[in-house]
Chains A and B, each alone.
Chain A
């Protein structure tokens, strides 16, 4: 596509984004990025003006989570770029496709400590999949194409393009690189997507031989759009499934084979089934410390099939017996073919019925549970979540922050569809929820989007509700207000002998209803169980503006089950009323 068309770098940037099919971007203008905001006026791209650059980053993430398309954030240099650091790291940890564009001081000023100058590519080097400082307007189209290619292929992740102001202002001859040009320009980047046939056959044999298999499903299954293939595999072999925090919804919670979430606050069944398994089929999961507990005691008798598109994940924590580098969907599909072939050839699957009934016994005896509140006592957060779950439309997208409310959300919601759960897993970013929910609602305006937040998280990024009001993005926010940094409080209670240090927030400041109203939202306060349902119904019925529902909940409530950090999964602390049945977890 050679042409003689002369464009400014800024025009080329926006045109490039349009050609990459960007429909919406999140950002905030400033000095060095100013030239790029001018061609935006007549662009087809919708720009959401945020109140803080961190919000732009998390919105881009939320958008990417629910659409599978890369989220785009654009901000200026210096403090704006550093404000983007947290979302970039968050997206890197959770493999979210994202393209960030930052302004930079003019090329002649780089290195002089100019106003709003910082070493953006240096600062973001270890928290992006790739980044690039573009030094010439002629290089912009290729840099854009490379960024989208790298962000969305292989293991997805954030890519940052840093563009000096003069590069945006200079004239360039328009040229849009072809696919071949992009691939030739990246000789060091060739992700493997197709699994090795011999390894896949090995895996199929292990699956057929296994008497106690578990499918250990991670976020990679969602990234690969592999939920359907996974379901086919699970049902073909009748293998129970655990879905990690990043994979909730990849397999329906209401499916008889689903054991829920494993890990630190996973179900006793999921945690124990992994410990007792003789085969873990890890699909797009990375043996995170929150899942394995003490690694040396994790699933001690299990052979490991590890399917991951990132070869560096294989053997990083646990050495696999069968490593398969590839895209989860392609590998699972091939695995199904290999299993069918072997079975057609007469190989029989080992009898797993005893295992199934053992697992089902755990499911019956160790359901997720909490003590309902006494009449007149404070609301239980789990109760609020159950009511919200039951009253919200099927397919509602739930977005959470980080802490107790996140764990309860993951536990008590029923995720029956993929891409209905958005949270910050790897980095654990408090304040993720409100902006990510805005991004999710922009990506899926047809869906009801609920942000569940703690009071600690909410106060970190609440101002993005102004963005939501002004831009008419009607999200709903449920604050589980326990006037504490709840998870920290829980750890101080359990591991610091109730010595509470700096975890108490105020019960009454801020006034969340007034705060919501001041930001153009509807604010509702709920203090008693009988108010919960009507408040949720009211919130669900409002679709012309954001709604904030403050649930005043008991500060003493703790998340169970729990495996303490660094301890073995065998030492899982059960919900107190289930402790007496612990013997059954053998």
Chain B
């Protein structure tokens, strides 16, 4: 078990990448398992993969309530779950998207635009007293960005939760889903 630390301050957080059959109710099954067993989800992102029969769920779990091993084993028992990998942030590429509405007077606008440019974010809209901005990047970068925006006043913000894949390893062969090792019960 690695001691990944995706948010800099939460040693209990681990990132699971869960490949599931893309069938109705699959997200409900995963969510209901976590609820039923008292496991904590910190964030969750889900979307279909390159193969339309499968979806990938990236879950950041909080291990305060149970061991990672037990969570993974219970998840594996769901018939629709095909593969689970724990992603160590050091060996994965991770991205998250954030949109935020920031309070901004006319005088402050220039400062905020400068900040957005430094972070390579985007201005989505400008109003008389606020700006809508977006930023994608590593969760840490998003943390830093929102910390800096906070001094102006964040009216609303929404993050997607992280999505992640293992880093490309030039020596490893690309595995097809069909080759996935079996799992039990």
A residues lining the B interface (CB < 8 Å): 121-122, 125-126, 129-130, 133, 135, 150, 154-155, 186-192, 309-312, 314-316, 325
CB under 8 Å from chain A, chain B span 144-162: none
A187 and B185 contact, CB distance less than 8 A: no
Contacts of B183 on A, CB cut-off 8 Å?
188, 190, 192, 311
Given contacts A187-B178, A188-B21, A312-B73, 20 further A-B contacts (CB under 8 A): A121-B25, A125-B25, A125-B28, A126-B32, A126-B36, A129-B79, A154-B185, A186-B79, A188-B78, A188-B79, A189-B79, A191-B184, A309-B184, A309-B185, A311-B76, A311-B184, A311-B185, A312-B76, A315-B67, A325-B184
Sorted nearest first, the 3 A-B pairs with minimum C-beta distance are: A190-B182, A312-B73, A154-B185
- Give the CA-CA distance A191 to B182 in the complex, in Å: 8
Contacts of B28 on A, CB cut-off 8 Å?
122, 125
- Give the CA-CA distance A311 to B20 in the complex, in Å: 19
Question: Measured between C-beta atoms, what is the minimum distance from B53 to chain A in Å?
Answer: 9
* Number of residue pairs spanning A and B whose beta carbons lie under 8 angstroms apart: 65
Number of residues from B at the complex interface, CB < 8 A? 29
Contacts of A187 on B, CB cut-off 8 Å?
21, 82, 177-178, 180
B70 and A191 contact, CB distance less than 8 A: no
Contacts of B67 on A, CB cut-off 8 Å?
315
B185 and A316 contact, CB distance less than 8 A: no
Main secondary structure of the interface of B (DSSP, over half): mixed
Closest-by-CB residue of B relative to A189 is B79
Closest-by-CB residue of B relative to A155 is B185
Closest-by-CB residue of B relative to A326 is B184
- Give the CA-CA distance A192 to B76 in the complex, in Å: 12
Question: Measured between C-beta atoms, what is the minimum distance from B1 to chain A in Å?
Answer: 13
Question: Measured between C-beta atoms, what is the minimum distance from A309 to chain B in Å?
Answer: 6
A311 and B73 contact, CB distance less than 8 A: yes
Q: Tell me whether B93 is interfacial, beta carbon within 8 Å.
A: no
Which of A126, A135, A192, A312 makes the CB contact (< 8 A) with B182?
A192
B81 and A188 contact, CB distance less than 8 A: yes
- Give the CA-CA distance A409 to B91 in the complex, in Å: 58
Q: Tell me whether B96 is interfacial, beta carbon within 8 Å.
A: no
Which of B69, B70, B79, B178 makes the CB contact (< 8 A) with A130?
B79
- Give the CA-CA distance A309 to B79 in the complex, in Å: 15
| Chain B CB within 10 A, most for which of A186, A187, A309 | A187
Which of A122, A135, A150, A314 makes the CB contact (< 8 A) with B79?
A150
- Give the CA-CA distance A316 to B74 in the complex, in Å: 10
Q: Tell me whether B77 is interfacial, beta carbon within 8 Å.
A: yes
- Give the CA-CA distance A122 to B74 in the complex, in Å: 18
Question: Measured between C-beta atoms, what is the minimum distance from A391 to chain B in Å?
Answer: 42
- Give the CA-CA distance A403 to B80 in the complex, in Å: 37
